[in-house]
Amino acid sequence: MDKLLIQGGVSLKGEIRIAGAKNSALPILAATLLTHDTVKVCNLPHLYDITTMIELMGCLGVEPIIDEKLNVEINSSSIKHFNAPYELVKTMRASILVLGPLLTRYGQAEVALPGGCAIGSRPVNLHISALQAMGADITVENGYIKASVKGKLKGAHIFMDLVTVTGTENVMMAATLAEGQTIIENAAREPEVVDLANCLVAMGADISGQGGDTIVINGVDELHGCTYAVMPDRIETGTYLIAAAATRGRIKVKDTRPDILESVLSKLEQAGAEIKIGENWIELDMHGQRPRAVSLRTAPYPAFPTDMQAQFTALNCVAKGSGSITETVFENRFMHVHEMNRMGASIRVEGNTVIVDGVEALKGAPVMATDLRASASLIIAGLVSENETTVDRIYHIDRGYECIEEKLQLLGAKIRRIPS
């Protein structure tokens, strides 16, 4: 098991390129199961979760062809199995995304109940009840969701009790080949949902309303192959911008999309950053100044993303003033706070809110990552610390950030991977 060793106190400066979005790539890979034609998916990030999803395809009998740029060609006409085994699903919740495509294309699917980050309950019952409304026969037994349908799934009017990204994606994929019209109300509006919808449309699906809270899908007889490039990762983009702001730096991130980061960029401006944007780049300059504390509240898109609150907690640790951060999306998402307090931060948790009083600098310490975004925040805390920090259990970070230490080294950070 590797660790990251960080020598703090360096302002980040320079340029980096942003990878494709993991949360877009995973459902798009699952969507390749909807056609017998070849689908080529480009701009995939080099991540453990992507490898897991490709392995899962292999378990189903698909033989993906991967080129040197990690573009993947998938032809699912060779599928022999309809079972997503626990060994793979336990490491990645997104495995449940094969449920809708397998069920609508082949009339059967068996998917282990998912694992992944320990950040609270993410109920799969919404996926199940929506597919049942479309005519699926589903039982949950021995830790597996077992689904089948006689003939085709039927279009249905589905209201999501909670806004769920993977739930919206699963139902949308299932509905593309269902008989008749499916309407998803209270649908997730995330850019990654829109990206999946755009890929499905490129495959011949009839979808409208994506990006709003009502999505309408008219089922078609079959989908066809296409070539599709995954959108840039907004969470990776935001993480590097926050790291630069916390370290009083100046960076430019390229191959990204400012239009889907408005809530994050406005908070960075409140923190004192000068932000300039182009069509596919963002520049941030702190002019060497210490950031100002910001207060924020997470909520589903287009509000402030839950996947960015831990990073802003790290920024607030060394900011001028006090800031409060309220988490409304997941419970149990403040596991980084204890570790930051060990580094000299002044943070207290009150229910689903953390209140941070900024200090001049943190002190390096050995810390342990507990989930993907918490590990990113601990790296930021290490960058703004005096002396040395080690971050253990970094397999979490490899699930969601491509080559994070190399990219930070390009920006001047003193960070390297060492064996435990």
Question: What residues are annotated to the active site?
Answer: 117
Give all strands (DSSP E) within 105-178, no chain letters: 108-112, 137-141, 144-148, 157-159
Residue 260's identity, in one-letter code, is I
User: Which of 305, 294, 304 is closest to 270 using CA atoms?
Assistant: 294
Question: Per residue in 341-375, is it b (16+ CB within 10 Å) or e — as a string?
Answer: eebbbebeeeebebbbebeebbebbebbbbbbbbb
Q: Which two tokens stand for residue 301?
A: 């898109």
Q: Please state, in angstroms and rounded to a whole number, the distance separating the CA atoms of residues 389 and 366.
A: 6
Two tokens, residue 155: 């279009």
What is the crossing angle of helices 165-176 and 99-106, to 10°? 10
Q: What is the DSSP string of 92-108?
A: -GGGGGGHHHHHHHHSE
What is the longest distance spanned by two Cα atoms in the chain? 65
- 290-300 as b/e, with b when 16 or more CB fall inside 10 Å? bbbbbbbebbb
Q: Is 66 in a helix, a strand, or coil?
A: strand
H/E stretch holding 390: strand 388-392
Strand partners for 275: 284
CA-to-CA dists, residue 92 to 56, 88, 96, 97, 146, angstroms: 11, 7, 9, 10, 18
What sign results for the dihedral spanned by CA atoms 231, 236, 240, 242? positive
